[in-house]
Amino acid sequence: MTILIGELIGTMLLILLGDGVVANVLLGKTKGNNSGWIVITWAWAMAVFVGAYAAVALGSTQAHLNPAVTVGLWIAGVTPTADVPLYLIGEMVGAFIGAVLVFLHYYPHWKETADPGLKLAVFSTGPAIRSTVWNFVSEVIGTFVLMFAILAIPTTNWGLPGPFTVGLAVLVIGLALGGTTGYAINPARDLGPRIAHAILPIPGKGSSDWGYAWIPVVGPIVGAVIAALLAGAVL
């Protein structure tokens, strides 16, 4: 149960801060409006750092915050099978709650934002150029880098805390690879908030884009599986 609580709170904080920075940059009349991609990528990296430390403090010693990471670590033999459902439930519920908190925190600003696409972008990712194959490939590659880095950290961490180095990996993924799909690299990060977007009474919201929604779920899982199998062969 400590795993479930740790993952729930950790993922909630991840989404509160990660989707929160997107809201700050995209929504109308915020003090961070139009502050740009660098602000978003840095804050997402630090959101990973905060969420992971909170998860560990509450009993999730591995601090996944990401179903793709859970699957990858399970394949790598790091996470016991019996623990996998606890991680997945905590991640999905925590992501949904975090998105609801972002909605509440920025409540007056939804009415000040005319574009429904920007409102959806606060909650979930979307492609810069819509192409099913290449959007899928982007999510596979980005998550492959994340998963491989996580598996490499125990042997090449140079004494730095794990959550900090994972946060740096997320930063460089966002800066280098995030421009195609918004680098979901995490099924819970995208699906939980997308469900929240569909349910919440957001003024002037449009479609939740369910036709695209499978890509940031399946792509990251495929990328994590490939990385776990490769890491098992070479690390």
Q: For the chain, give the mean pLDDT.
A: 96
Q: What is the pLDDT of residues 185-221, one digit of tens each?
A: 999 999 999 999 999 999 999 999 999 999 999 999 9
Q: Model pTM greater than 0.85?
A: yes
Report the alpha-carbon distance of residue 122 to residue 163 in Å, rounded: 24
163 pLDDT higher than 80: yes
Q: What is the pLDDT of residue 84?
A: 98
124 pLDDT higher than 80: yes
Contact 99, 193 (CB under 8 A): yes
Contact 196, 103 (CB under 8 A): yes
Contact 74, 40 (CB under 8 A): no
102 pLDDT higher than 90: yes
Q: What is the pLDDT of residues 166-188, one digit of tens each?
A: 999 999 999 999 999 999 999 99
Taking residues 92-103, what's their average pLDDT? 98
Contact 146, 170 (CB under 8 A): yes
- 162: confidence class by pLDDT, cuts 50, 70, 90: confident
The domain that contains 160 carries what CATH number? Answer: 1.20.1080.10
Task: Report the domain count for the chain.
Answer: 1
Domain with 78 in it: 2-234
- 235: confidence class by pLDDT, cuts 50, 70, 90: confident
- 161: confidence class by pLDDT, cuts 50, 70, 90: confident
- 140: confidence class by pLDDT, cuts 50, 70, 90: very high
Go through 170-180 and write b for each residue having 16 or more CB atoms within 10 A of its CB, e for each that does not.
bbebbeebbeb
